[in-house]
């Protein structure tokens, strides 16, 4: 893909696998056997519209951009940078995360579809200016079908480099600022709704909450829960982050590998996804699971395992929609008042999911997906473009 920016010539190559446009190639040229084969079948199974494999050898940039849906607006989703062990792991992450963004946007009532980028690189050693400029060119090549922002391993400063090559980017340091507090607030409201469901009261005072992961969102969640009177148990693989939360909020710090076994009213996963599985769910000692991590269930069947144990699960794409809602100030022109109102609505949405699950006799994870798909199917298909 040849692009011109500010008189410079820069080249980023990418191959496209798509369900809605002709396929440009069957696989990324450097993909290992088994990585790209079968991608179209996986896309069809989960409803993805497009997958792009992008590379820029000069900068070391390698990435996958997955667009799940543009039915109600351009796909919006952050860029994650991680040293994936295999390209297959990166592809799986991109597909799952982009699908989750579709559901997150539809459930929250924001005018976007779902997408996600994963950059395959070590965040500690990558040439960030060059890599993210290359990423900007790849995003620009999608012509507005996809808008990116920050995610794990990336920052608002990285988005500045993306912005040098494309306008289809949010999360910039000079605009609305860090969305992490908004994400944390949404998780807090989901926790409160879940406690209301199981205990009849949303009051956090005196409740014990175990937080897994104390990054940007986990830290702000700890602060908000502490301010609301909750007792905290917490863990993080970074000792400095754990020590900070212990010092500032009096959290009891436990080993990361045992946080899910802590006796608590609520377990709040705020690190990586796929942590709720047949191996971990039997060890949970809580009444509620509600956190900020994406794709918390290892598989769809794990929602039923939580239900069987009478653990109320606030589906992740409902609970963690606060950051997406917050970005609507920047990418959709929403007022701060509209953002705040929609953010507080996560409580009602979570309650509605539990009510639907009870009426339909299904796990809350399944009810959330059903409700969201019903909304998507009822929505008119819009021409892709930035919402006005």
Task: List the catalytic residue out of 116, 124, 263, 308.
Answer: 116
Q: Are 6 and 133 in contact (CB under 8 A)?
A: no
Cα dihedral 166, 67, 298, 355 sign: positive
Q: Is 359 a catalytic residue?
A: no
DSSP 250: -
Q: Are 116 and 94 in contact (CB under 8 A)?
A: yes
Produce one character per residue of 30-68: b if its CB has 16 or more CB atoms within 10 Å, e if not: ebeeebbeebbeebeeeebbbbbbbbbeebbbbbbbbbb
Cα dihedral 95, 98, 100, 106 sign: negative
Cβ count within 10 A of residue 154: 25
To 10 degrees, what angle do helices 346-360 and 87-108 make? Answer: 100
**Own/partner pairs for 255-262, CB < 8 Å, 24+ apart?**
256/212, 259/210, 259/211, 259/212, 259/233, 259/234, 259/235, 260/210, 260/212, 260/284, 261/285, 262/210, 262/233, 262/286
Residues designated catalytic: 116
């Amino acid at each position: 893909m040849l692009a011109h920016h500010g008189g410079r010539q820069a080249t980023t190559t990418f191959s496209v696998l798509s369900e809605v446009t002709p396929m440009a190639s069957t696989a990324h040229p450097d993909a290992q056997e088994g990585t790209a084969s079968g991608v179209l079948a996986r896309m069809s199974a989960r409803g993805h519209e497009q997958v792009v494999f992008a590379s820029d050898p000069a900068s070391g940039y390698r990435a996958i951009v997955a667009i799940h849906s543009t039915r109600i607006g351009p796909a919006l989703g952050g860029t994650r940078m991680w040293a994936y062990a295999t390209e297959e792991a990166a592809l799986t992450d991109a597909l799952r995360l982009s699908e989750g963004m579709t559901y997150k946007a539809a459930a929250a009532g924001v005018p976007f579809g779902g997408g996600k980028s994963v950059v395959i690189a070590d965040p500690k050693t990558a040439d960030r200016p060059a890599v993210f400029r290359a990423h900007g060119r790849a995003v620009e090549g999608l012509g507005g079908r996809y808008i990116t922002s920050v995610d794990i391993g990336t920052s608002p400063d990285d988005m500045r480099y993306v912005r040098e090559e494309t306008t289809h980017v949010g999360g910039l340091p000079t605009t609305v600022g860090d969305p992490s507090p908004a994400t944390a607030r949404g998780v807090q409201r989901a926790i409160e709704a879940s406690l209301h469901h199981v205990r009849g009261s949303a009051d956090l005072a005196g409740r014990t909450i175990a937080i897994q992961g104390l990054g940007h969102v986990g830290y702000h969640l700890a602060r908000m829960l502490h301010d609301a009177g909750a007792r905290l148990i917490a863990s993080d693989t970074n000792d400095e982050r754990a020590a900070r939360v212990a010092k500032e909020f009096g959290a009891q710090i436990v080993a990361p590998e045992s946080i899910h076994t802590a006796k608590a009213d609520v377990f709040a996963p705020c690190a990586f996804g796929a942590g709720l599985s047949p191996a971990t769910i039997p060890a949970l000692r809580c009444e509620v699971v509600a956190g900020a991590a994406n794709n918390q269930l290892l598989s769809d069947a794990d929602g039923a395992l939580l239900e069987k144990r009478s653990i109320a699960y606030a589906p992740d794409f409902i609970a963690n929609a606060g950051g997406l809602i917050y970005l609507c100030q920047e990418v959709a022109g929403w007022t701060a008042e509209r953002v705040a109102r929609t953010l507080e609505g996560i409580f009602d949405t979570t309650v509605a999911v539990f009510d639907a699950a009870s009426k339909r006799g299904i796990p809350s994870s399944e009810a959330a997906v059903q409700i969201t798909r019903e909304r998507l199917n009822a929505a008119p298909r819009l021409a892709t473009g930035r919402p006005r």
